[in-house]
A and B are shown apart, each in its own frame.
Chain A
Amino acid sequence: MTTPPTTMPQPSPAPATATPPQSSRPSRFGLVFGIVAAVLSVGSIVLAIVAPALTSAPKLHVPQGWKQIYNDNPGNTTALWDNARGCTFPTAGLNISSDSKCGFTPANGVELTNGVLVVAQLAPAADVPLSQDAGILLDDTVLVIISQQGDYMICRSTCERFANTDAPVITGSTVAWHADAFVPNELAVLYDSDQQTVSFYVNGQYVNQVSAGLSSTPTVALTTSTSGEALFTHVTIFAASTA
């Protein structure tokens, strides 16, 4: 592509001896500007290096003494996931679309008691045709759901993403989310029965929490939004104790 010749200003009939002006050297202002820019750059980099240590809550860790109940690709353990409501199991994992819900059934009739931690890994959003909105539903009561852009919602009882509900709702968006369609994400939900709180983590970073009293044996389900889709590639579930 070239610049249209019509836009070129005609050179003025300058004398042949005329020489172009020399480049303007940075004045004191330019020098100060450069020094400030350099200092700001270094300072910003240092700040970004320590940024993970400055979050309001520590990174996700499994509470001491909790037992690992499940740790697998759901696509390999289809029997443990309720596929009655439109969940499919491609080799990559567990695919849910359009408001479906896939409940987890622990092996050997075990029940999760006194708290539960669900860590779910997602495929890159580019792997699903719809917008990847992934959610974790605890005890059919507390829903934690996040959109492909990193906007999340935590609500009690049944709620639709971005819909107004009577139940208290927490919404926001988080810097911890990889909004790039080619980068996978991990979301985690921790129910602490002692403190009666549900905490939400993205890629190991604490995001938010809501107080909620669940049953003593909360159920676990994976879900998505009405217009979205989610491909869970790996799920790990811990419980404080089992019954």
Chain B
Amino acid sequence: MSQQPQAWTPGQPVYPQGQVATGQPYQAYPYAQPYAQPYWVYPYPAMVVKRREPGEIYALVVAWIVFAFGILSIIGGLLLLLVAGIATANGSGDSLAVLTTFAGFTLGPILGGVLAIVYSISRVIKRPSPPPSLPSSLAMLMLTIFSLAAAVILWHFYTSPGLAFAILPLALLSGFLPALTILAYGVQQLGPATTRRHLWLSLFFGATMAPLFAIIFEAIAALLILWGLAIIRPDLTPGISSVTDTAPRNASDAIFLLLVIAVVAPLVEEGLKPLGVVLIVRRLRSPAEAFLLGLAAGIGFDMVETIGYIGSGQADWVSISIQRIGAGLLHGLGAAMAALGWYYLINGKGVPHRWLKGFGGLVYAVIQHGIFNASNLLGLLPGPVGDLMSKTTYLGRLPLDSGTILFFGYYAIILGILVYMIGRLRRNLKTPAGTAATSTPSLPTGPEPQPVAGGAR
């Protein structure tokens, strides 16, 4: 390659050989130090290769992965939207079950995909992300009560609800608002621990990837259990229809259901929900951040799952939305504890009882979920427990099965644990985590683990 002759400009120093100083690597010169002065005496800044902050490559890789998944997510969501349009045109538009299912699997991927692209690009260009902010949990609670009360009143007025498309927004909000109330509480208390970017991406991971993989893994596990039962007890083999029947028909059905809903579902779902947090756990600054991001992922998962259940009630969707009002607590706290567990397992070097805390969080999440799911089968028990669960209570004329009261008690316990955990973590939260691209992160003190890197997150 030929080199263009370099012009000398007034004031620019020259080497004794008459060459213009250009910042070329001096080591390339084949002769020994011929200069009167060492090169660093020249008033030009030395060429410095800017070193990336520790973990910056890792963060960039994650950002690009998020970007790619954002595009895939939008494409997938749009394809599903097309399917939904075709199904609606073919007569399925009158079904709230169909509409809520499609809403759950199209809204999440499209909206989440857009956010993933925006946030990953903003991360790549190191644009800082502020701490997350939501309305106060009290305001969200008021909106929840307002929406559900309106839905209950409408149920009493209308024998049939009317156009499914017109009911869909209220049905969706009845599932979303209780979940967002819980998230708002978490953000209100622990918001400074993380960034808006991390929070929303975590929520949309929980609302998209986690349910997608959960459906696949749970279906595979159910088939394996069926296969196993067929080998062990061929005389009592349940059918696939057992899963969708209103009640198990025999002991084998009950065992099958118990295994699927109280063992497989908790293991799969609590394993998948915090995976988005695990992906970035090395960059998290505190247990509080892991907990809040896990909570967001669980809330996202709950929103998709709950609206699916709500739709299955068709004209009685409101009774399901009331029964599921605290499902966000179950999924939220479960994922939060699991994320906290992963945080200690991965980042917890030097933390006392690291493994106990890590595995404790994971086990807690699975057990909490398993107990809740198993309680759905209490109605099958003979005696007073079964009788109690089979009874009906009424909200006006709206029937609610007695299991709802049990669920509400369980929700109250979970809420108590959530408040306690948030209180503990909040006390450890020293200062707001810096969000500026160049700021030095404020690290937790004491034996808590430290993040891999600071910088924009």
Contact = CB atoms under 8 A, between A and B. Distances in A.
A62 interface: no
Interface string B335-351: 00100110010000001
A13 interface: yes
Contact of A23 (B173, B189, B399): B189
B167 A10 contact: no
Interface string B136-167: 10011001001100110010001111111111
Contacts of B163: 51-52, 54-56, 175
Contacts of A21: 192, 426, 429-432
B314 A24 contact: no
A151 to B, nearest CB: 8
B444 A12 contact: yes
Nearest to B401: A182
B223 interface: no
Contacts of A48: 150-151, 154, 161-162, 166-167, 169-170
Nearest to B365: A7
Q: Is the interface of B mostly helix, strand, loop or mixed?
A: helix
A179 B313 contact: yes
Nearest to B146: A41
B162 A53 contact: yes
Nearest to A8: B424
A132 to B, nearest CB: 9
Nearest to A180: B316
B134 interface: yes
B169 A40 contact: yes
Interface stretch (A91-99, A110-118, A200-208): A200-208
B427 to A, nearest CB: 6
A32 B340 CA distance: 31
Contacts of B188: 23-24
Interface residues on B, range: 35 or more
Interface in A153-195: 170-183, 186
A149 interface: yes
A45 B428 contact: no
A175 B167 contact: yes
A41 B166 contact: no
A186 B425 CA distance: 54
Contacts of B11: none
B192 A45 contact: no
Contact of A176 (B131, B177, B314): B314
Contacts of B136: 26, 34
B203 interface: no
Contact of A20 (B95, B392, B429): B429
Given A41-B173, A52-B161, A12 B446 contact: yes
B399 A203 contact: no
B92 A173 contact: yes
B135 interface: yes
B166 A37 contact: no
A50 B360 contact: no
B340 to A, nearest CB: 7
Contacts of A179: 312-316
Nearest to A42: B146
B384 interface: no
A173 B136 CA distance: 39
Contacts of A3: 364, 417, 420-421
A11 interface: yes
Nearest to A19: B427
Contacts of B356: 6
Nearest to A10: B352
B427 A29 contact: no
B115 to A, nearest CB: 13
Q: Which of A34, A51, A204 has most B Cβ within 10 Å?
A: A51
A183 B147 CA distance: 22
B102 to A, nearest CB: 13
A30 interface: yes
A107 interface: no
A43 B424 contact: no
B246 A13 contact: no
A202 B428 contact: no
A174 B371 CA distance: 33
A125 B162 CA distance: 22
A43 B169 contact: yes
Contacts of B427: 11, 14, 20
B166 A47 contact: yes
Contacts of B344: 9
A30 B135 contact: yes
B187 interface: yes
Contacts of A64: none
B133 A27 contact: yes
A157 to B, nearest CB: 20
Contacts of B135: 26, 30-31, 33-34, 37
A33 B337 CA distance: 27
B91 interface: yes
A37 B180 CA distance: 10
Given A24-B133, A177-B314, A14 B95 contact: no
Contact of A207 (B94, B132, B146, B312): B94
B448 interface: yes
11 contacts: A7-B337, A27-B130, A34-B139, A41-B173, A44-B172, A48-B162, A52-B160, A131-B245, A150-B314, A175-B160, A204-B160
Given A24-B188, A150-B97, A204-B160, 14 more contacts: A6-B356, A9-B357, A9-B428, A13-B445, A14-B445, A14-B446, A26-B133, A41-B143, A45-B151, A45-B170, A52-B162, A52-B163, A54-B162, A172-B95
Chain A to chain B: the 7 pairs with minimum beta-carbon distance, closest first: A12-B446, A51-B162, A34-B135, A52-B162, A51-B166, A6-B360, A30-B133
Interface of B: 91-92, 94-98, 130-136, 139-140, 143, 146-147, 150-151, 154, 158-167, 169-170, 172-173, 177, 180, 187-189, 191-192, 196, 245-246, 287, 312-316, 319, 337, 340-341, 344, 351-353, 356-357, 360-361, 363-364, 371, 392, 399, 401, 413, 417, 420-421, 424-432, 444-448
